[in-house]
Amino acid sequence: MSKDKKATKSAGMGEDIEVAIGRTEAFIEKYQKQLIYVVLGIVIVVSGALMFHRYYLAPKEVEAQDQMSKSQEYFAKDSFKIALNGDGVDSKGFKRIIEDYGITKSSNLASAYAGICSFKLGDYQKAIDYLEKFDGKGTVNVSPVITGLMGDAYVELNQPDKALEYFNKAAESNNKVMSPIFLKKAGLVYESKGDYAKAIESYTKIKDVYFQSDVARDIEKYIERATLAKK
């Protein structure tokens, strides 16, 4: 390519760039106010989120954790009613923690505790209501226990199909300790429904997959019982 052609091409590119810049400047000039509002809006949202976390959420989390520790002390003593409802002095109880600190991590954990307390106090539907609120994301060992407890609550409410749903879901965690326990619970519910084939299936999985668990030690007799009942 000759120098003249190169120069011509460069000039053309320069003109294109100048046109583009001109159009951009015209666009900015035309929509300057709108753009400023958008930028300010983003700044306000980001700043607001940071301030909310620093000056509201963080202090709330500290308060909630303090209340959690007080309720956990009663829970550890099997004082489930006080742990749930508070002592009327300085412990609000898990129920109030959920209500007063709803967006905190402590409130989420309080839902699990409140569910357990309600179950221990014989209020099985309330237990389910609280346990359903618990977000077990990231709690590998806790989640199957909570799920299995919901199955227990449904057993107490004489809803075997719902109980099986939660027992089987809890067993799917493949937890070497908890899964065989919930498989056995599922097997017992299947037997109560007269579904001995499914019961045998649950018991056999304990025997084959979780043979090192404590539950597997006497699982043969459950398999034998369900097999005899099936005939």
Delimit the domains of the chain by residue range: 136-231
What is d(CA 115, CA 126) in angstroms, rounded to the nearest whole number? 7
pLDDT score recorded for residue 37: 52
Name residue 175's amino acid: N
E strand intervals along 13-147: none
Contact 142, 180 (CB under 8 A): no
* C-alpha to C-alpha distance for 49 and 228, rounded to whole angstroms: 64
Q: Which of 185, 179, 182, 98 is nearest to 135 (CA)?
A: 98
pLDDT at 67: 84
Question: Which residues does 132 contact at the CB level (< 8 Å), separation at least 6?
Answer: 150
* Confidence at residue 118, expressed as pLDDT on a 0 to 100 scale: 96
Q: CA 130, CA 231: separation in Å to the nearest integer?
A: 42
Query: CA distances (Å), 136 to each of 1, 139, 221, in order?
Result: 69, 5, 35
Residue 217 is classified by DSSP as G
Exposed e or buried b per residue across 113-152, where buried means at least 16 C-beta atoms within 10 angstroms of its C-beta: bbbbbbbeeebbebbbebbeebebeeeeeebbbbbbbbbb
Using only C-alpha atoms, what is the Rg of the chain?
31
CATH number for the segment(s) 136-231: 1.25.40.10
How many other CB atoms are there within 10 angstroms of residue 94's CB atom?
A: 32
CA–CA separation, 101 and 65 (whole Å): 10
Q: Can you tell me the distance from the alpha carbon of 209 to that of 176, in angstroms, rounded to the nearest whole number?
A: 9
20 contacts 27 by C-beta, under 8 angstroms: no
Confidence (pLDDT) at 231: 72
pLDDT tens digits in sequence order for the chain, 231 residues long: 544 444 444 444 445 555 555 455 555 555 555 555 555 555 444 444 344 345 345 666 778 788 888 999 999 999 999 999 999 898 999 999 999 887 778 888 899 999 999 999 999 999 999 999 998 776 657 889 999 999 999 999 999 999 999 999 999 988 899 999 999 999 999 999 999 999 999 999 999 999 999 999 999 999 999 999 987
Token pair of 16 as six digits:
């294109």
Q: What is the pLDDT of residue 61?
A: 77
